[in-house]
Structure 1
Amino acid sequence: MIVGAIAVAAGLVALVHWYLWRRLVRDTTVRGSRARRWLTVLLVALPVTSFAAFGTERAGANFTLQKVFAWPGMLWLTVLLYVTLGLFVGELVRPLLRRWLERRAAGTAVVVEADREAAVAALAQKVVAGGGSVPAEEVPEPSAPASASDDAGAVSRRLFVARTVAVGATAVAAGTVGYGAYGVLGRAPKVKRVTIPLAKLPRAAHGYRIAVVSDIHLGPILGRHHTERIVATINRTNPDLVAVVGDLVDGTVEHLAPAAEPLRRLRSRDGSFFVTGNHEYFSGADAWVEHVRELGLHPLQNERVEIAGFDLAGVNDLNGEDEGEGPDFDRALGDRDTSRASVLMAHQPVVIHDAVKHGVDLQLSGHTHGGQVWPGSLIAKLANPTVAGLERYGDTQLYVTRGAGAWGPPVRVGAESDITVVELASRQA
């Protein structure tokens, strides 16, 4: 099944690149030209770097090699998406533009022919007035054969239309990806503030602030500087507690320990807590759990702790099931005092139904990235009960952060990265 899925994906990628080659290369260049050769090589090389980026990361190859392929390979994926969408729009524009050019050419031809006829008439008058002779330079040039002229004009118009659509689609894609990359690489995640009332929260815990951060995705592209910005942003909010809700890394402790080091500087009154995400299980979850513990974070592996005013629980990610370390709600939430408010850290929103069954008051999740790049949000809605924000399921509330990083391409379009400060409110206050 996996081999079949890979074959289908490879076939789809090849088909899309063939379409791009037709519209961006074949239709815009001359057969045998140097431009056509170089653009063809480029359209073959870019998808190869994308496959190499995923392959070297999964294989745990030399980290420098991972970086070499990650930058062009991952960025090309989003450029590919938006160039393709732009060209699809261009398919609608193409006939309209061609028709406009044909009308313009027809109008120009009428004017030229009228001017030539007027010149012939004027020449005839001169012949009559001058006794039958006229200077040779005043004789009008004969018109080109209609068929040859029409063919040359049609080729010229097709080339103009093809180049206009190709340049337009490429420019829009480059601008969109550039802005989306700046949102990830050029600035810190946006701080969102949400107040969530909990019926069981005592008056003494009213206003308790939890800084929720997820999907940091340290890896070949997002490194130490990315972590430093996130830590500085969280510390400026002066939270009572920090909840790191999975997908911290895309790589091994060996490669990414320096990038994760700034997490040691997280500051909050009651400490920082961590649960695994699905990407930890691609990167050596046990090793990362131990490493974040060394950095001063408290992993919650299907367990809970009592915080002043509520219980904080955490469950392993669903991907841990393949290693016998999946989520265990009975272990994390069983035998507790149900009169106390409970807050659950769980990476994937889809476990909300288990949280409802176990009487959780608030679940904090990530995983979705808010879709990360449009139209990814439409796909994310198919796989997740909530893509971003706060929603209620029975007596349980679910808050999903869009995450502070990006997986794969370091680009976000229509889904800004965020760190959310959740302020708990007591109805007794």
Structure 2
Amino acid sequence: MKRKGALIVSIVAIVLSVIFAESWVLSLESKLRGRILRIQVVIIIQCGVAVISIFLWKNLSPVFQTKGHDASPHRLFWKFILILYTMFAHGSYLSNVFLVRTEPSVLAIVSYLCLGAHVQMFTFLVIAKAVGFIIKLCKKRPLKNNSTAIMAMFYGFLMTSYGYYRICQPPMVKNVTIPIKKLPPSLNGFTITLLSDIHIGPTVGKKQLEVAVDITNSLQSDVVVIDGDLVDGVVSKLKDAVQPLRDIKSKHGIFYVTGNHEYYTMDVENWMETLKELGVHVLHNANARVPADKADDNSLCFVGTDDIEADRIRYDGHGMKLDTAIKGCSTEQITILLAHQPNAAKIALQSNNKIDLILCGHTHGGQMFPIIIGAYFINPFYAGLYRHGDSFIYVTMGTYYWGFPMRIGTQHEITKITLVSV
């Protein structure tokens, strides 16, 4: 009982320490705050990966155990490979700091694939242990530990290879038709190409962006939207990588709003200026009339808000300010809100503002099993098209991916949205 009490006190103390430390960090100057927040993220991720590594080592290393003179070279070799693989998995997130460049680094890709395999083997073993426990309750004979470990490694390799193969394919084009009440006849059939979560950084580069731009241009949409999480690095390292954006062709322009990852770079202002130079219209809590030369009753109002992460980390001059962003939109106009996170869509729907369509990204659909389970439950809108009263919400699974160059159970997409009158 005393040990349990001490454990509870320790957990409460840790939680309170984290809360107070977070408050202190958020009160610091922005650049220092950014550095400390990145360090915190690295520590949290490393702790999580460490738990997985300890669990995997305990369950997988017996396969490579050697005793006395029976130690065989091939077992020692595979044990060395297991150690090396674990080191790569732990080093994956560091590539976001040291391996950000115009094209993806092979080392970054290998590291993140190892981390992906980590997650897949961990998932398999947890499920296997749960099944084994049930079998034991039924008084059946469970599989030997070595057999389970070998199956886990085979499963991890198979699923990692499959996930990597999936992301090596170009994004699929997803066509979505959305019926809009009181849509002006002149705008019936208006098209929007939605890009989101490109995540140019350690595992996504310029060539992949060029592919996305080529697909976008082939769709010949009236408007192109980039709905946040374009980059995972600073302008000085990725300016060349985003140059293909200047080649996007759109009848009424290209609109961009920030995602949470832009704020993690702590270089948002420079990114906004860089995108403007590339011909992208940045909606920084602002709106734009489309077509620009039409009256209210024959135009759309595209509204863009900063990502809600800017509010959480108190990024100077930024934050989701919907009332500011929508100011100037007429009640006669169809209003389309660009907000990176589904949680921002929920906030917008709870406001008194008239919004006909909200376009979001962020979730990636979870990107791969089993993360898709968490993504489904923590987001008010997970993926696809939703209706809320007279408003519609569309959440894309993302144009590419973050970190893990893997897709399992999800699909990276470029979405062509067609508005139709009802």
Q: TM-score range by the shorter chain?
A: 0.7 to 0.9
Alpha-carbon distance in 1 for matches of 2:228, 2:42: 27
How far 1:395 moved relative to its partner?
Answer: 2.8
Root-mean-square deviation over aligned CA pairs: 2.9
Once the two structures are aligned, what percentage of the paired residues are identical? Answer: 33
1:418 equivalent to 2:413? Answer yes
Helix, strand or coil for the counterpart of 2:94? helix
- Residues 65 and 292 of structure 1, relative CA distance in 2, 3 Å threshold: closer
Alpha-carbon distance in 1 for matches of 2:106, 2:175: 38
- Residues 331 and 92 of structure 1, relative CA distance in 2, 3 Å threshold: closer
Alpha-carbon distance in 1 for matches of 2:329, 2:133: 68
1:118 matched to which residue of 2? none
1:311 equivalent to 2:298? Answer no
After superposition, what is the alpha-carbon deviation per residue over 1:70-102, rounded to whole angstroms, capped at 9, x for unaligned? 22221112101111222344447879999xxx9
- Residues 223 and 62 of structure 1, relative CA distance in 2, 3 Å threshold: closer
1:336 matched to which residue of 2? 329
Alpha-carbon distance in 1 for matches of 2:135, 2:302: 61
How far 1:259 moved relative to its partner?
Answer: 1.7
The answer to whether the 8 Å contact 1:26/1:36 transfers is no
The answer to whether the 8 Å contact 2:103/2:207 transfers is no
Match for 2:368 among 370, 373, 383? 373
1:18 matched to which residue of 2? 54
How far 1:258 moved relative to its partner?
Answer: 2.0
**Superposed, which structure 2 residues align to 1:91-240 within 5 Å?**
91=129, 161-184=144-167, 186-240=168-222
Alpha-carbon distance in 2 for matches of 1:172, 1:246: 34
The answer to whether the 8 Å contact 1:350/1:385 transfers is yes
Helix, strand or coil for the counterpart of 1:306? strand
1:262 equivalent to 2:248? Answer no
Match for 1:245 among 227, 231, 254? 227
The answer to whether the 8 Å contact 1:345/1:363 transfers is yes
Alpha-carbon distance in 2 for matches of 1:95, 1:334: 59
Q: Larger % of helix: which?
A: 1
2:28 matched to which residue of 1? none
Name the aligned partner's letter for residue 372 of structure 1: Q
2:393 matched to which residue of 1? 398
How far 1:416 moved relative to its partner?
Answer: 0.5
How far 1:18 moved relative to its partner?
Answer: 2.7
How far 1:171 moved relative to its partner?
Answer: 2.0
The answer to whether the 8 Å contact 1:194/1:422 transfers is yes
How far 1:11 moved relative to its partner?
Answer: 4.8
The answer to whether the 8 Å contact 2:287/2:304 transfers is yes
The answer to whether the 8 Å contact 1:275/1:314 transfers is yes
How far 1:63 moved relative to its partner?
Answer: 4.6
Name the aligned partner's letter for residue 323 of structure 1: Y
2:120 matched to which residue of 1? 82
After superposition, what is the alpha-carbon deviation per residue over 1:40-87, rounded to whole angstroms, capped at 9, x for unaligned? 4444433433443323524x5775999364222211121011112223
Q: Mind listing any 5+ residue stretches in structure 1 that lack a counterpart? A: 104-156
After superposition, what is the alpha-carbon deviation per residue over 1:141-195, rounded to whole angstroms, capped at 9, x for unaligned? xxxxxxxxxxxxxxxx99xx455433322222222111211221x2111111111
Higher mean alpha-carbon deviation, 378-387 vs 338-347, is at: 378-387
1:116 matched to which residue of 2? none
Give the TM-score normalised by structure 1. 0.78
Alpha-carbon distance in 1 for matches of 2:207, 2:44: 37
Alpha-carbon distance in 2 for matches of 1:96, 1:403: 38
Alpha-carbon distance in 2 for matches of 1:373, 1:75: 12
How far 1:231 moved relative to its partner?
Answer: 0.7
How far 1:314 moved relative to its partner?
Answer: 0.6
1:323 matched to which residue of 2? 315
Helix, strand or coil for the counterpart of 1:323? coil
The answer to whether the 8 Å contact 1:21/1:40 transfers is no
The answer to whether the 8 Å contact 1:196/1:423 transfers is yes
The answer to whether the 8 Å contact 2:365/2:382 transfers is yes
Give the TM-score normalised by structure 2. 0.79
Alpha-carbon distance in 2 for matches of 1:235, 1:4: 40
Alpha-carbon distance in 1 for matches of 2:132, 2:180: 56
Helix, strand or coil for the counterpart of 1:258? coil
The answer to whether the 8 Å contact 2:104/2:204 transfers is no
1:302 matched to which residue of 2? 285
1:30 equivalent to 2:66? Answer yes
- Residues 88 and 251 of structure 1, relative CA distance in 2, 3 Å threshold: same
The answer to whether the 8 Å contact 1:29/1:35 transfers is no
Q: Mind listing any 5+ residue stretches in structure 2 that lack a counterpart? A: 1-17, 23-38, 292-298
Alpha-carbon distance in 2 for matches of 1:8, 1:244: 30
- Residues 62 and 341 of structure 1, relative CA distance in 2, 3 Å threshold: closer
The answer to whether the 8 Å contact 1:53/1:66 transfers is no
2:12 matched to which residue of 1? none
- Residues 334 and 244 of structure 1, relative CA distance in 2, 3 Å threshold: same
In the alignment of these two chains, the number of paired residues is: 367
- Residues 305 and 65 of structure 1, relative CA distance in 2, 3 Å threshold: closer
- Residues 211 and 4 of structure 1, relative CA distance in 2, 3 Å threshold: closer
Alpha-carbon distance in 2 for matches of 1:62, 1:339: 46
Name the aligned partner's letter for residue 52 of structure 1: G
Helix, strand or coil for the counterpart of 1:259? coil
- Residues 381 and 408 of structure 1, relative CA distance in 2, 3 Å threshold: same
After superposition, what is the alpha-carbon deviation per residue over 1:101-140, rounded to whole angstroms, capped at 9, x for unaligned? x99xxxxxxxxxxxxxxxxxxxxxxxxxxxxxxxxxxxxx
2:295 matched to which residue of 1? none
